[in-house]
Structure 1
Amino acid sequence: MSKIIIAPSKYVQGRGELGKIKEHTKDLGKSFFIIASPNGVKRVKSVIEESFKGENVTLVFEGFNGECSKNEIDRLGNIVRSKGCDVVVGLGGGKIFDTAKAVAHYEKLPVAIIPTIAATDAPCSALSVIYTDEGVFSEYLVLPKNPELVLVDTDIIAKAPARLLVAGVGDALATYFEARACVRSNAKNMSGGNATKSAFALAKLCYDTLQSDGLKAKLAVENNVCTEAVENIVEANTFLSGVGFESAGLAAAHAIHNGFTVLEQCHHLYHGEKVAFGTIVQLVLENSSLEEIKEVIDLCISLGLPVTLEEMGVTEIKEEELRNVAEASCAAGETIHNMPFEVTSDDVYAAILAADALGKTYKA
């Protein structure tokens, strides 16, 4: 039995670190292909250009079309080749990171990830989540290596909308519970091995940090300031969750998230917001104690994460739609099959309704 833990080659976090990007990337290449949203470019382009000022370096900024799909990956790969770039940079949020990692993989180039938000645990992973052009989950692309660099400037992240940091907490919330399920079932992690004790410890530390600092960090970011609590939550959302999920494993929560992508009324939600509700559904599937479920739901309520179907956008409960969610959650190859017991679509359907009822009860 092989135990495997993987992580980015270098993780850098702190206030003002983007201004030092030249030093952090000096060994990666000389022509940088930077994938970002138009707003992302507007926020940080001048900082990046100032850092490289006077250097023999080419910076190519390219707008992201909004979806990590095969068509977008192919489009960007063509530009990378035409421009002769030798480093791919993903700047922004989760779908940009996954796109940048996929482009770098296919072009056989190093990749640097620069979050401007802490909304997902995607930055550190050797994984890209591929969607259709319409935003429906398609597949996981497992990559042969993690990013060469993850560069996190917490001054920038503290100025992003608080909802994005909270969404990152929702994504990170699943890490410990999915890791625990995988350890119990002896399931393989994302790199094809079993969890190390260190990976599981990081997953538990992630959850403990969310409980201790989540609300404090949200309140600080709502006031556009970076406190120690914000630093801790950014690390939990980005590094602890990233290494924890990848090296300990995914289970039901993320599979249920994938199931909810089939509902158009949930498309307005961020990834982590759906994962948070999926975590509650997983706890119901496990028949976890009321104390544990209440602890998770109370954290979600304090942060504004969804704990009911109505908050997920499902204002009218239709059995056929929820059964479609349940069936998609249990599709062949989904991570729900890493649970330490067999899970059917009927089980997921029942757990979704029970989780909704629990959410309504604790909100009341």
Structure 2
Amino acid sequence: MTTLTSRERVRRAVRREPTDCVAAMPYMYDIAAATAGIPLKQFYTDPQAMVRAQLTLHALVGQDVIAIGADNFYIAEGFGCETTRSNDEVPSLVKPPLTSLADVYELEVPDPQSDGRMPVMLEGLRLARQAVGDDVALRSPGTGPFALASYLIGTQQWLMEVAMAEAGMEEGNEDAIHHALTLATEALIRFGKACWDAGADILHCGDSLASCNVISPRTFERYSFPYLQQIFRAWKAHGVTCSILHICGNSTNVLDLYAATGADLVEIDHAVDLRVAKARIGGKVGLVGNVDTVTELLQGTPETVRASAQRCIDQAGVGGGFLLGSGCIVPRYAPLANVRAMVEVAHSRPYPAG
């Protein structure tokens, strides 16, 4: 087979069609800023700087997918969240728009073309598409409904509200919780459609607060799963052909629910046995993962990363429907030689025969 472009390699891998080699998509945001020497604050507020940083990183690593994004709060800011602005760290929540969840009915869904930093991300996608043409796949940013709803009142208060409602306590406000989730879901649907129209190949939905390291499988099924289904269903109706669900932590107990969300790909964290994920849901949904971002990519060596990448491909690559990934965000100061080693392993190997 002739050498494919990265974009075509990814598309074929998702469709389980023959490719020239394994597709590689380490998940990288602010490591691009560090690599290009661009101040972090400029990286997450200036789309031209963001794209320049990602192109610099891509030239050195050669991955098949460039991820546009920086943090979790670009949509939340459109709801009125106040966040930090620093060259030391990506934005974090300073002040949510609500002090009482009962006031959630006063909020309106933000416009992705004008509110928060959503326009920054959309312009980043447009500029990146212009720069890479048809050669490289682009992954959009995108929060998840459970996480985004939590930013409206603050994460700790949100988790307390959910716990009280689930326990049936009088203080619980089930209706307000679901209204917040409905607002977040609609915001994500609109933002995802705008990302697709701006040139994304893979729409990202990352709901890491819904991790089973944070909430129970029962809570996930009740307060995250149905809203994830709505998002992926609406994106598909818009013509989206590839979407990815990203939730950190050990998701072994809810893998079947992940596969039932309607996402085309599920990103598997290093905490999950990739062999188990392949056996459980690999026939239903594509898998991405799961080189350890800390033990291997940050603290390891090219040799240990290569061994880990080989192991991931052996465990989940049979029959295709797999992209070698990092499972979570690659740390800002991970050695580029380690990330490059991961990509080199993928590009030197075909998918294992079944």
TM-score (norm 2): 0.30
Which one has the bigger helix percentage?
1
Q: Which has the higher contact order (CA 8 A, sep 6+)?
A: 2
TM-score (norm 1): 0.29
